[in-house]
Amino acid sequence: MPVVAQETAKSPFYYIKKRFLNNKPAVFGLAIIVFCVLLTLLGNLVMPDRTPDANDGAAQIQKKPIGFQVDMLKMRRGVSLEDNNILTDIYSGIESQYRIIPVESYRMDGIDVYVREYNGNGEEKKYSIVKAVLPLYIGQSSKMSGSQNYELQGETIKYLDSDERIQTITKSELLSQFQKENIETRNYMLGTDKVGRDMLSRLLYGMRISLSVGFVSVLISVLVGITLGALAGFFGGKTDSIIMWLMTVVWSIPSIMLVIAISMALQSKGLWVVFLAIGLTSWVEIARVVRGQIMSIKQKLFVEAARSLGMSNRRIIYYHIMPNILGPLIVITTSNFASAILTEAGLSFLGLSVQIPTPSWGTMINEGFTTIGTKDSWHLVFLPSFCISLLVLAFNLFGNGLRDAYDPTTLLK
């Protein structure tokens, strides 16, 4: 008698995963999303410009093309900076101790440096190397004669540090430190914007804004949509009629109009207003899906069995019905994520989202739009537009892949 090989039973998730991994465009979309999320979590650590809002720029190098390179003279600002914790430094940025001056050439003479500024008139300007390198005490002090708080004594420089303590440094050490730390060659891989800021850093910061808006607004819409959709689908009757009427009313309100209304009511603009506006206008799609799924499931035998065991309606909905509609819910949530990114970009373009100088892809497009027709300005609009298109495409491919993966009629290869 021939022995029949016994097939190992596979879970539904096994087939969902296999169908998804067979969908190459969906895997590509997921890879793009994971890559963007990793860049967002790393924060300022992966940004060339780690200052708050990636706002360190110089007007002399505005609208420079992709791959631009220039030498920078870094001069101390003469301000004391607060020490922050590591999370603040990663996600809010570190205030720079220096102001940057793009230069075409420089030469050192004693403890002074003479530079020809980039796009200047060709004349040399003199800067003190001591003031560029050393953290000098700000203000008058009885410990040092004169107003500069430093003096040259042969080959040694005596100065007052920021804590008003007398320090010394040799001239050779000063010049060596100057060339090592205060002259820097900067590469702008994606060029600069219209005020000379690094485009790559601002695009990465804008991605953080877009993903944050997508996540928070989708979270709000999921919480509201699941709650109202579950109530409408499970209880039916007047409850269903009232919630369906509310869905129709909310669906008729454009997100932009709601943002304007909230901004005027609260006398405020900013990211949290966008969170509320997008979240409170995108829950309807989720509620309709949840309502329809629950209406088709609530008459099943396992729901009747749960009722007969005396379980509460809340427990039946959230512990027995909701796990069975997780697939369609994930698909609609993914689609809403892409819609939230597009909506935020549109609101930023109109000035209703984050406020300058905080970069958002929408505000960057708006800034580039004002320079259309001028020299070397094409990348100011193209780059943020490309980023929006790529991220929205990734979420759409991912959502379509999830939809097909949860469809049992999709053939396995």
Determine the number of helices (DSSP H) and then strands (DSSP E) in the chain: 15, 8
Per-residue pLDDT of 207-255, as tens digits, reads: 999 999 999 999 999 999 999 999 999 898 899 999 999 999 888 887 7
Whether 151 is in a domain gets the answer yes
177 and 288 fall within a common domain: no
| pLDDT score at 151 | 83
More confident residue, 224 or 8: 224
CATH number of the domain encompassing residue 272:
1.10.3720.10
Q: Please write the tens of the pLDDT for every residue from 94-108.
A: 888 899 999 999 999
Last residue of a domain, one of 188, 218, 253: 188
Task: Pick from 4-13, 25-34, 169-178, 301-310 the range whose average pLDDT is largest.
Answer: 25-34
Domain boundary, last residue among 136, 157, 188: 188
Report the mean per-residue pLDDT for the chain: 87
Amino acid at site 185 = T
- Evaluate if residue 49 carries a pLDDT over 60: yes
Domain total of the chain: 2
Is there a domain that residue 222 lies in? yes
User: Measuring CA to CA, which residue among 325, 343, 240, 249 is closest to residue 289?
Assistant: 325
Note whether 118 and 169 are same-domain residues: yes
Tell me the pLDDT tens digit for each residue of 342-389.
Answer: 988 988 888 888 888 889 999 999 999 888 878 878 899 999 999 999
Q: Could you say which DSSP state residue 322 is in?
A: G
Q: Name the domain boundary from 131, 166, 188.
A: 188
Q: Which two tokens stand for residue 386?
A: 């490309």
Please tell me the distance from the alpha carbon of residue 201 to that of residue 52, in angstroms, as a whole number: 11
Q: In the predicted model, is pLDDT for residue 175 greater than 60?
A: yes
Over residues 133-155, the pLDDT tens digits come to 988 888 777 777 766 788 888 88
Q: What confidence category does residue 193 fall into, taking pLDDT thresholds of 50, 70 and 90?
A: very high
